[in-house]
Amino acid sequence: MVDSLQITSAIAGFGFSITLLYFTVSKYTFPKVKKPFFDDSKIFKFFALGIVLGMIIFALEEWGRGADETLIAFGVLYAVMEELLKLIILNFPRFQRRIDTAFYGLTLGLGIATTYTFASVYVSLLELDNPGLLEMVAFSLIGLQFVFLHGSTTAMIGIGVVRRDLKGYFSEALLVHLGYNLLMIPFFNATEPWNLMGLGAASALVIYAYYRIHTQSLPALIRDAKRLALKKDDKAAPR
């Protein structure tokens, strides 16, 4: 029987991720544009792949959870490992220099966030003694960080693959992930006000990272692709 903890975790994971995915990509496909910038069927495939990867990543992180003195080391290790995994998947030759790869990267990241957030919120609530509505809302909002984190960093790597600037975009994604992990350490280990300051700074970082993807990076990629297509058409036109 589904209980309130499962419903809360599902909203935090699947609800937030799917809503953000629609909000971001809907203006790049039909009916907003005549020719979509990606294949809808591949969007679903990458989202499904992300769902599987999210559970694997969560399981690995739970297995490696240790003493307080290892938090920084594992925070760095997990950030590097997860971003490298995203890079390996998105950097296959078939995805290079293809504008739709940026959207598949975003989708992959939000797919990862669904199950990772669901599991994280559910396990955290289970550890509490009879959590109430306030605790459920609080952990759901913390879970929303994972949605912004994985959505933005995977989209960065996808854009880097399209632009053939893996070093720059991968470094940016890694720095965002590292920054988030390190800023969240005070939240779990320090007392007020340092724990709340760490939470606030980590939240601001991932929200801003996603904001840039939504308002700057993806629109700029589309503009550049259109400009390049016009140049090709001009060269191909008979004189």
- Give the model confidence (pLDDT) of 192-203 as tens digits: 888 889 999 999
The domain tally of the chain equals 1
pLDDT averaged over every residue in the chain: 90
Maximum separation of any 2 CA atoms in the chain, in Å = 77
Instruction: Write out the residue range of the structural domain in which residue 20 sits.
Output: 4-226
Residue of 32 and 150 predicted with greater confidence: 150
Residue of 127 and 169 predicted with greater confidence: 169
Residue of 205 and 127 predicted with greater confidence: 205
* Tens of pLDDT, residues 108-124: 999 999 999 999 999 98
Q: Is residue 173 part of a domain?
A: yes
* Tens of pLDDT, residues 5-32: 899 999 999 999 999 999 999 999 988 8
Please tell me the predicted confidence (pLDDT) of residue 54.
97
* pLDDT over 70 (residue 234): no
* pLDDT over 60 (residue 235): no
Q: Is residue 238 part of a domain?
A: no
Q: Is residue 12 part of a domain?
A: yes
Q: Is residue 237 part of a domain?
A: no
Please state, for a pLDDT cut of 90, what percent of the chain lies above it: 69
Q: Is residue 234 part of a domain?
A: no
- Whether the CB-CB separation of 99 and 162 falls below 8 Å is answered with yes
Please tell me the predicted confidence (pLDDT) of residue 2.
58
Cis ω before 186 (30° cut-off from 0):
no
Please state, for a pLDDT cut of 70, what percent of the chain lies above it: 92
* pLDDT over 60 (residue 239): no
Please tell me the predicted confidence (pLDDT) of residue 228.
78
Q: Is residue 40 part of a domain?
A: yes
Please tell me the predicted confidence (pLDDT) of residue 130.
82
- Whether the CB-CB separation of 27 and 222 falls below 8 Å is answered with no
Please tell me the predicted confidence (pLDDT) of residue 194.
82
Q: Which of 182, 181, 176 is nearest to 207 (CA)?
A: 176
Q: Which of 161, 40, 27, 165 is nearest to 98 (CA)?
A: 161
Please tell me the predicted confidence (pLDDT) of residue 1.
42
Q: Is residue 205 part of a domain?
A: yes
Q: Is residue 115 part of a domain?
A: yes
Tell me which residue has tokens 């594992």: 74
